[in-house]
Amino acid sequence: MKAKLLQSIAAAALAFGAGAALADEDAELVINGEIEIVTKTDAPAHMDGMSTIMSGWRFRDSTTQMMEMDDFDNPAMLAVEDAREKWSTPVGSEDKSCADCHGEPEDMAGVKPVYPKWNEDAGEVRTMQMQMNDCRENRMGAEPWKYDAADALAMEALLSSVSRGMPVDVAIDGPGQSTWEQGKELYYARTGQLDLSCASCHEENYGNMIRADHLSQGQINGFPTYRLKNTKLNGVHSRFKGCVRDTRAETYSPGSPEFVALEMYVASRGNGLSVEGPAVRN
């Protein structure tokens, strides 16, 4: 077991040392020929040691990039269409739909860019999925959706799609600052048998190859994301869970306070990039 672990660490170290060019450093993302997406911009002031931030789209090969450039080719848009139908369908003991309170999905443009955010009434930082479930339970009298499961991800993808092109703008001050600080601590904490942190890959080694993966900066402006690897929409907490698991550490569950804090911090690292989800990744 120890020998295999050392071999894995050695392989990772060799891969980290092998630099790789971006798929196309000059590529620009325009969706449907009209939605301009900022995939590279100056890093927000609160980020130390990085001057430029880049969407994961820039680290994918040209074939994968092209799938996101047209909604007809983006497999995630099937889930978005399903969510549109659910949006206007009354459910629960109150026989209410999302549309009854919020109008058309397009009326929700501008919501996704600011999440996670502090909720004054609840006295906590909430992710978009948490807020959606609050509506389902307390306004619609419906069962909450399982975190990062198909229904929740489809609805989050719909709400993301109507904000595409808008800049991510997650607040890091005010009453939510302590949650943000917790997320930052988790981001830089080394864990597991491989003794890796989020920063080990996505800050110190982005652009390099680890096995067959072209390491990105780990930006989450494209979530929910359709992954070709498992042919379905993926939530950011599930991605966090997979990353922590890959360090061979005990991991948290989607929807846990730890992952809420981590999402808030990581989302703020993308302030200035465009909302891009639902994106397509490997």
pLDDT band at 26 (very low <50, low <70, confident <90, very high): confident
Residue with tokens 């080719």: 73
Q: Catalytic residue at 215?
A: no
Q: Which residues pair with 78 in a beta bridge?
A: none
Per-residue CA distances from 165 to 47, 87, 128, 155, 278 (Å): 22, 22, 18, 18, 12
State which amino acid sits at residue 2. Answer: K
Q: What is the pLDDT of residue 19?
A: 39
pLDDT band at 263 (very low <50, low <70, confident <90, very high): very high
Q: Which of 243, 261, 275, 280 is catalytic?
A: 243
Dump the DSSP string for 45-68.
TT-SS-SEEE-GGGGS-HHHHHHH
Structure letter (DSSP) for residue 31: E
pLDDT band at 23 (very low <50, low <70, confident <90, very high): low
- Is residue 220's pLDDT more than 70? yes
Burial (0-12, 13-18, 19+ Cβ within 10 Å), 85: exposed
Q: What is the pLDDT of residues 157-187, one digit of tens each?
A: 999 999 999 999 999 999 999 999 999 999 9
Q: What is the pLDDT of residue 3?
A: 38
- Which positions make up the binding site for substrate? 239
Q: What is the pLDDT of residue 56?
A: 96
Q: What is the pLDDT of residues 137-158, one digit of tens each?
A: 999 999 999 999 999 999 999 9
Cα(70)–Cα(47) distance, rounded to whole angstroms? 32
Q: Are 35 and 164 in contact (CB under 8 A)?
A: yes
Tokens of 94: 């109150």
- Number of DSSP helices (H) and strands (E) in the chain, helices first: 10, 11
Structure letter (DSSP) for residue 273: B
Cα(175)–Cα(134) distance, rounded to whole angstroms? 20
Q: What is the pLDDT of residue 210?
A: 82
Q: What is the pLDDT of residue 121?
A: 96
Cα(191)–Cα(197) distance, rounded to whole angstroms? 6
Reference 89, options 105, 73, 77; nearest CA is 105
Domains of the chain: 34-89+101-109+120-280 (1.10.760.10)
Alpha carbon 236 to its chain centroid, in Å, reads 4
Q: Are 144 and 92 in contact (CB under 8 A)?
A: no
pLDDT, the chain, mean: 92
Tokens of 109: 């443009």
Once rounded to an integer, what is the mean pLDDT over residues 257-269?
Answer: 98
State which amino acid sits at residue 25. Answer: E
- Is residue 18's pLDDT more than 70? no
- Is residue 239's pLDDT more than 80? yes
- Is residue 11's pLDDT more than 70? no
Q: Are 118 and 125 in contact (CB under 8 A)?
A: yes
Q: Give, in degrees to the nearest 5, the angle at Cα 110 between 274 and 92.
A: 125
Q: What is the pLDDT of residues 84-130, one digit of tens each?
A: 999 999 999 999 999 999 999 999 999 999 999 999 999 999 999 99
Burial (0-12, 13-18, 19+ Cβ within 10 Å), 212: exposed
Provide the whole-model pTM. Answer: 0.90
Residue 8: strand, helix, or coil:
helix
- Which positions make up the binding site? 98, 101-102, 135, 198, 201-202, 239, 243
Q: What is the pLDDT of residue 39?
A: 98
- Is residue 12's pLDDT more than 90? no
State which amino acid sits at residue 215. Answer: L
Q: What is the pLDDT of residue 136?
A: 98
Q: What is the pLDDT of residue 49?
A: 79
- Is residue 13's pLDDT more than 70? no
Q: What is the pLDDT of residue 1?
A: 35
Which value, in Å, is the radius of gyration of the alpha carbons in the chain? 19
